[in-house]
Structure 1
C-alpha cells in the first residue's frame, strides 16, 4: 500500500494542474456516433465540424451528420459543413419569417446543403448575397418566392433546355451552362429559397399517369406547403401550374405514378431519381394526397398543340382553332417554345365530336375531336 501511495498522489496532483484536464466527452448522441463510424477515414473531418460548431447550432450539425448519405459521410469536409450551418442559422435569424419556421422544418428543409443527388456545391453564401436584396421588402415566404421565381432566373440567365448536360445538375453546373432540366431549375429555386431562410423541397413524379414522362417542381413552406414550377412564375400566385391537371390524376399506391417530396431526414420511402433509378439514397415522403383529386365529369375534348419550325424546334406562335361548321366558334392562344417544359402544351377545351381547323400563320391542319374526356396532341409546322 505504501508503494502505491505516491502514484495515486501524482495522479491526483495531475488532475488538479491547470491545463491538464482530460478532453470533454463527446456531446452528440448515438445516431451521430453511428454515422461517424460509417464515415471511416473522413471521421476526423466530421468530428471537427461537430466540435467547432457553436453550441446554439449543435442540433443542426448533428441533424446533418446523422442523416447524410454514406457518400457525404465519407467526403464532406468540416469547413463546408460549418459554413453551411452558420449561414443557414444566420438567415433564420435575420429574415422576417425565420422565427415562424418550426425547428423540425428548418432542420429538414432549410439547413440541408443538397436536395437530391446533385454535386455538393457551396451555394449558400452566393445565393444569400444575391437573393436578400430581391426579397428585402417581402413580408411572407410566399411573396418572397414569387419574387425569386420571377427575377432570379433572369439574373442568372438560366432557363429550361433539353440540351443541358445532366438532369440533376448542381446550381453551379446549371448557371455555367445557362440551361437546366426541370429538376436542375428546381434545385436552383429550392436552394435560393433556403438561402434566405425559406423552407423548400423538391417534389416530383417518375411518370405521369398518362405515361407522358416525369416532372419535378418545388414546394415552399408558409404555414403549410405550397407548390410552384421553377422558372415558371404565375402572377396569380402559388399552387398553380401547367401540370396541375396531370398531378390531379396521380396514383398514391402505384409507385411510378405517385408524387414524392424529397427529404433529408431518413425515412422508409425513397425519392425516385429517374436518371438513376437504382439509387435509393434520397429519402422522401409520398405527398400524392396533396395533389390527387377525383376527376370531374368530362364535358370537353382536350386538344394539345405543338408548333415546330423547319429544324423541329418548338416555337412560340399564335395558334387559332376554328370550328368548321361555325366560324364564330374560334379559340386562340400561344404555343410553347423551347424554354418551356417538354410536357407543357398549349391546350384547348373543345366541344366533343366536332371538326376544327388549327391555323398557325399560313399552315393549317384539320382535326376531329373525339369523346368528352379524351385528348390528342397535334403537331404543326409553321
Structure 2
C-alpha cells in the first residue's frame, strides 16, 4: 500500500503516531528505523534493505558494537555531568532523561543487555562512583577535567596553608604559656616569717608634699595615653611609633617618650594575634549585602545589589538580587562590599573583629576607611577607627 498524500487525515494521524517514542523492541539500529507494531517490524526484517545492512554488519560486527557502545556511553555520561554534575543520582532517572530524546542510540545495539550491567561497567572503569540500595543503583560522576582537578588542588593547598597557620599560632601560644610558667616557677621563693627586732624603733617616712609636687609635673599614665592614642584599623594594630606619636600629642610638647606597662603590652599582643588569626583571603558571609562588579553577566546585573542567601564554599556564594529576586552563583572576585549610611548596621567580614556586628559611626573618604562601634559579643561598645571599606558590609534586612 502506498503512502498517503500530504494533508490527508490518514497522513496527519500517522505523523502524530510517529512523533512520540515507540517501543524499543521494534527499532532497528542498523537501518535506524522505528516500527510502530510487530507486523511492521516483521515486514522490515524481511525487506531487502535490511538484509543488505545485516550483511554489512556481519562483515565486522565487533567494530559496529564498539562504536554503538562508545556513543551510548558518551551520551549517558555527557547528560549525567551536564544535568547533575557530581551529585549522587538514581541511574534509571538519568537513563529516562537520555531516552527521552527521539534520536538517541538504543541500548539493544550496545554490548550491555541491561542498565545494571552498564552501571557496573562504569564503576569498574572508574568513570563513576556506583552503589546499590533498596531503591536500585545510584551513580555519581567523577569529574576528571584538568581545570577542575587544578582548582580542587588549589583549594586543598589553600586549606592546608590556613590549617598550618592556625597550628603555628597554637604552637606559639603554647610556647608563651610554658615560658610564663617557667618564669613564674623560677622567680618564686619560699615564704619566710616576718620577724622584727623589738629593740629597733619603728620609723615611717611620709613625704606627702614632695609626692604631690612630683605628681603635678608628671605626665599622664601610660595606660591612659595608650587607650586614647590607640587606633584599630581592622587590619593592623597601632605599633610603637603610633603609641609614641599619641603620647606626644596628649602629654604636651615637652613629653617625647613614655614607658608602656605590662597590661598595655599584653593588650597589643592579643590584638595582633587576633588580627593574624582572623585575617583571611576570603570574606563572604551569609546575610550581607553585596554588589556585582563583573560585566560577564551583562548590564542586567552589573553594579546591581543583592544579598548572600547561601554559602557554597569559602569563595563561592548564592546571591539573591534585591530588585529581581534572581539567584546567581558567583565567586567573591565578582563581588564587592556595600557601605551603608551612617547609623546603619554592618557586619565585619575580615580582620581582628571578623564576624562581629557593628554600627557605622563615621566615614573617612580620604583613607577609604570607617569608624564603627561593636554591638555584639564580649567587645560590645568598643569603638574601632580606620576599618577599611572591604572589611565591612551592610547587613541585609527584609524590611
TM range (shorter): under 0.3
Larger-Rg structure:
2
Q: TM-score, normalization: structure 1?
A: 0.22
Q: TM-score, normalization: structure 2?
A: 0.22
